[in-house]
Amino acid sequence: MQTPRDMLAELWARLGGDRAALDRVTLTGVEPALPSTFRVGAAAQVSIAAAGLAAAEIWRARSGQGQDIGVDMRHAVVECRSERYLRCDGNPPPPAWDAIAGVYHTGDGRFVRLHTNFPHHRDAVCKVLSCAPERGAVQAALMRWKGEEFETAAYAAGGVVALMRSYDEWTALPQAQAIAKLPLIEITRIGDAAPRPWPAGERPLAGLRVLDLSRVIAGPVAGRTLAVHGAEVMLVSSPNLPAIPWLTIDTGRGKRSCFIDLDTEQGRETLGGLLKGADIFCQGYRPQALGGRGFAPEDTARLSPGIVHVSLSAYGRSGPWAGRRGFDSLVQCATGFNHAEGQAAGVEGPKELPAQILDHATGYLMALGAMMARLRQAREGGSWHVQVSLARTGKWLWEMGRLAKGLDVPDIAGDVITPLVEELPSGFGTLSAVRHAAVLGFTPAYWARPAVPLGTDPPVWGSAA
């Protein structure tokens, strides 16, 4: 198996990074970092280190000054579970899941996982099943279905569910074969533009403006990572969209937050105005959701030549599932992780990975892609499109190999966490939250702005506020 350093070097080389920069990176810690047969510690460490290295390279491009980067594996995996360690005024997180979310049997002896944290997703599942939103009623209704038929019907109705598949079942699907043809991070030029000069500032991303149109974990982690290196990040949500409050707090550190209703002409004009002042546009909605409102990648390149447009999807940009909704827990279930981990643990049915690592690692890979594309823009000009997906990150994790005794290690808890957290003010109260795991020698990573409730700020950039 490759070492984390080897994986970092390979990822860095594929993105065209300067190989000499790797000499300034120190990776500490040993596997397994969490109880899992999968290399979640390596995925956390490598993705965070790569994003930190990209920030350091931007600083070198701006200032001529190189710097050392260090990432400890234990700190990295703790940050990849940051939502569970967050405390607000000393209080722990509320229950993470809706009452009917989770794993169920189906009539053909299979398992399915339901994601119902958003009300419209719960309603879609209950409509297909013709049952009340109660666990007993859902289970009874599912016994009348075959697993794959229910998965197909639920998605067609607007729900988000996953049939538990083995790895062999997953890789036999056309969608897995489509994903296998994609790079982990795809960066393509989508328009012509003059190189944008680096703005003045004393941090790697100082003066760069980022629009963050994302929810839940992966996309928001990308925005949080760009903010920790100094970018001005504007989280754009809608008063009409549901959110998960605890995740909003955890991933909102360093960001402004505004409401824009893209279903109105005024809202689209407002976002267009913000876009013209932006350097990076990160979005985690399905392609037709923003494309139908005039903000497809090519649209943003036309409205803001030189933009870096970053797109997150669940199952990749091509294949029969390209437009399918998805969350980390569902992609884990559909692509073989839960089946494999359950078999290794000797349990019937799915066993989750010990972190939502597909979400978190993909978030850092998004930030990495955004920064590498911005470096290219400064050198070559052009507008750029960065594409990542949870399922492609999952393929990367599978390719790392398995740890034979990975389930034998204890979980991380208690006093081990204490040195890795900091207290911060916020618009919600005093936060105890995980610090960023990438330690940069000259430009320390920190969040300059507190997390605030959604819609706190006007939809204007800070200099105009």
Provide the pLDDT confidence category of residue 287 given band limits of 50, 70 and 90.
Answer: low
Mean pLDDT, range 71-84, rounded to an integer: 97
What percent of the chain stands above pLDDT 90? 90
Cα angle 292-296-298, degrees, rounded to a multiple of 5: 135
Going from the C-alpha of 342 to that of each of 102, 271, 336, 443, the distances in angstroms are 15, 45, 10, 43
What domains can be seen in the chain, in order of their start residue?
4-94+179-317+354-464 (3.40.50.10540)
Report phi then psi at 110, rounded to 5.
Answer: -100, 175
Please answer whether residues 105 and 139 qualify as being in contact, where contact means their C-beta atoms are separated by less than 8 angstroms. Answer: yes
**Per-residue pLDDT reduced to its tens digit, 114-155:** 998 888 889 999 999 999 999 999 999 999 999 999 999 999
Q: Which of 28, 22, 106 is nearest to 66 (CA)?
A: 22
**155-175 CB burial, b ≥16 within 10 A, e <16:** beeebbbbbbbeeebbbebeb
8-state DSSP, 259: E
Pick the closest to residue 443 from 184, 59, 47, 26 (CA basis): 59
Digit-coded pLDDT (tens) for 33-70: 999 999 999 999 999 999 999 999 999 999 999 999 99
pLDDT at 313 over 70: yes
The whole-model pTM stands at 0.96
Confidence of residue 433 (pLDDT cuts 50, 70, 90): very high
Mean pLDDT over residues 268-289, rounded? 92
- Which pLDDT belongs to residue 465? 42
